[in-house]
Amino acid sequence: MLFERIPDEFGALVALEDEAPGFERIGKYRLERVIARGGMGIVYEARDPVLRRKVALKVLRRERCSTEALDRLKREAGITARLRHPNIITVLEAGSCESWETSYIALEYIEGRTLSEAVLEEKTPLTRMVESVARAVAYAHDRGVLHCDLKPSNVLLERSGRVVLTDFGLARSMPCEASWEIVGTPAYMAPEQAAGELREIDERTDVYGLGALLYETLLRRPPFEGKTALEILGQIRWHEPPGLEAPGSGAAEAICRKAMSKEKSRRYPTARAFAEALSEF
C-alpha cells in the first residue's frame, strides 16, 4: 500500500473533514489529523482514549474495501504482528468499524520524520540508518518475511534516534506465490520484481531494495527516475544506476553497486551480509 506523507502543517482538520466527512472516530479511536494518504487507504494520527496514547491508524478507504483489499490489510497486520524487533513498527490492534464500513490497523505512533525527509534536510552521512534497516530486514527474513517495498518513505526516524521500518502492506511470506501480482514502487524495484519474474523473488530482492535506500542517502536522489512507471521499469532492467558506474568510486558506492547488481548471484546473499559490510564502512 503506497502512501504520500503529509507534513504537519498541512495535515490539519480540514484534511480530516475531506477524508472522513461526518466521522470523528473509527472504533474507539478519535481521529486527529491525516498523516499520509494513498490510493488504497489513509493513515491518521489518532488517540486511544482508554490507554491515553497516540496511535497511527491505517484505514482502508470505504470505496476500496473489496475482499482483496481487506485480505491484504489482514495479511499486513498478521505479518507485522509476528515481527517483534526494535527497528520494526509495532502493531497494536486490527479491527473493523461498521459505521464507517471499513477496516483498520492501529500502529505505534512515531514522533519524527521519514528517511526521505532526512535525505533532503541532512548533509551528514545516513549510512548508519540504512544499516539499522538492514538488520531489521534480516530479522524479518529469518522469520520468512520479505518486505518487497523498501524505500525512504517507509523508514521513520524517531526523535530519540531510533530507526523504524514500516508499511508491510506488500510483504510476503517466503517462498512467494507464483500468482502474486507485480506491485511496489517502481524506482526502488529489483530487476526481477520489475520484470514480473515472481519465482525469482527472494531475500536478495530486498537486498536490492536496501541498496536503493543506500543509493538515495549517498546521491540524494532515487536510483531511477522517469516520466512514467514503464520508463522507470525499463531503466531498472537495462541500465545501471547513474553515479555508480566507476569501479574506483568510494567504499559506500561499492557496497551500493554490489547490492544493486542486476544479477541476484552478484548481490550480497543476505540482508545481514549487507549490514555487516556497512558496519565495516
Q: Is the pLDDT of residue 143 over 50?
A: yes
More confident residue, 232 or 13: 232
Which of 154-163, 179-188, 195-204 is least confident?
Answer: 179-188
Separation between Cα atoms, residue 172 and residue 78, nearest integer Å:
11
Query: For the chain, which residues make up each domain, given as ranges?
Result: 4-108, 112-279
The residue ranking higher by pLDDT, 164 or 196, is 164
Q: Identify the pLDDT of residue 16.
A: 44
Q: Can you tell me the mean pLDDT for 192-217?
A: 93
226-244 pLDDT per residue, tens? 999 889 988 898 888 887 7
pLDDT of residue 187: 93
For 53, 97, 117, 167, the CA distances from 29, given in Å and listed in that order, are 10, 10, 28, 20
Residue 104 vs residue 246, higher pLDDT: 104
Read off the pLDDT of each residue in 201-213 and give the average, rounded to a whole number. 96
- What's the average model confidence in pLDDT over 187-216? 93
Told to judge if 18 belongs to the known catalytic residues of this protein, a careful annotator would answer no
Average pLDDT over residues 24-30: 89
What 3-state class would DSSP assign to 245?
coil
Q: Sheet of 155-158: strands edge to edge?
A: 112-114, 155-158, 163-165
Q: Say which of 8, 71, 142, 149 is annotated catalytic.
A: 149
Q: Does 17 score more than 50 pLDDT?
A: no
Q: CB neighbours of 96 closer than 8 A, spacing ≥ 6?
A: 27, 102, 103, 104
pLDDT of res. 6 = 43
pLDDT at 14: 33
Mean pLDDT of the chain: 86
Q: What are the residues facing 53 on neighbouring strands?
A: 48
pLDDT value at position 3?
A: 46
pLDDT tens, residue by residue, 67-117: 778 888 899 999 999 999 999 999 999 998 776 678 999 999 999 999 999
Euclidean distance between CA atoms 113 and 163, whole angstroms: 10
Say if CB 259 and CB 214 are below 8 A apart: yes
Task: Identify the architecture of domain 112-279 in CATH.
Answer: Orthogonal Bundle (1.10)
pLDDT at 62 over 80: no
Mean pLDDT calculated for residue range 58-65: 80
Average pLDDT over residues 145-168: 95
Closest to 186 (Cα-Cα) out of 170, 204, 166: 170
Does the N-terminal peptide bond of residue 247 adopt cis geometry, omega within 30 degrees of 0? Answer: no
The pLDDT assigned to 1 comes to 43
Using 50, 70 and 90 to split pLDDT, how confident is the model at 4? very low
Q: Give me the pLDDT at residue 175, please.
A: 73
The pLDDT value given to residue 215: 95
CATH superfamily label, 4-108: Phosphorylase Kinase; domain 1 (3.30.200.20)
Instruction: Specify the amino acid at residue 61.
Output: R
